[in-house]
Amino acid sequence: MKEIGELGLQAESPLLDRICGPDQFRKEGLRQKLAAIRAEQAGPSASPLERLAAERLAACWLQVHVAEWYYAHSLTKPKLNEYFHDHLDRSHRRFESMLRTSAQIQRLLKMVVQVNIGAQQVNVAGP
């Protein structure tokens, strides 16, 4: 039932269908890879923001690889090749942007604040 409300998982299914075809073994392997990316990126005690960033990062990772697949299959067709090269470039930029955003989120959530008031010093660490 959880999958019904997960639009990200619903969006990845047609991409996996396209590049895997009827090969369920390959499709399941890619699903596990995406789940591993999400888990690694979010970490064990992730905030809701970190979980959202991890979801988006996994989606961008998949989009880059699908774009590479299309690009590789268009090498002998110059007009298509140019189109898919641009598509790959845009996908790669979105992935890099999401990597930067994810790193910023992690840094901000782990920020340490030091306050000096008179002779007393207070250190406050992030969550």
What digits encode the pLDDT tens for the residues 40-65? 988 888 888 888 899 999 999 999 99
Contacts for 11 with CB less than 8 Å, ≥ 6 apart: 59
Tell me the percentage of the chain whose pLDDT exceeds 70: 81
DSSP letter string, 35-104: HHHHHHHH-TT--HHHHHHHHHHHHHHHHHHHHHHHHHTTTT-HHHHHHHHHHHHHHHHHHHHHHHHHHH
Residue written as tokens 């008179």? Answer: 118
pLDDT score of 113? 59
Q: At what angle do helices 48-72 and 7-20 cross, to 10 degrees?
A: 20
CA trace torsion 25, 27, 33, 36 (10° rounding): -90
pLDDT bracket for residue 118 (50, 70, 90): low
Identify the residue with better confidence: 59 or 117.
Answer: 59
Q: Where are the domains of the chain?
A: 2-124
Output the pLDDT for position 110.
76
Residue 20: pLDDT above 90? Answer: no
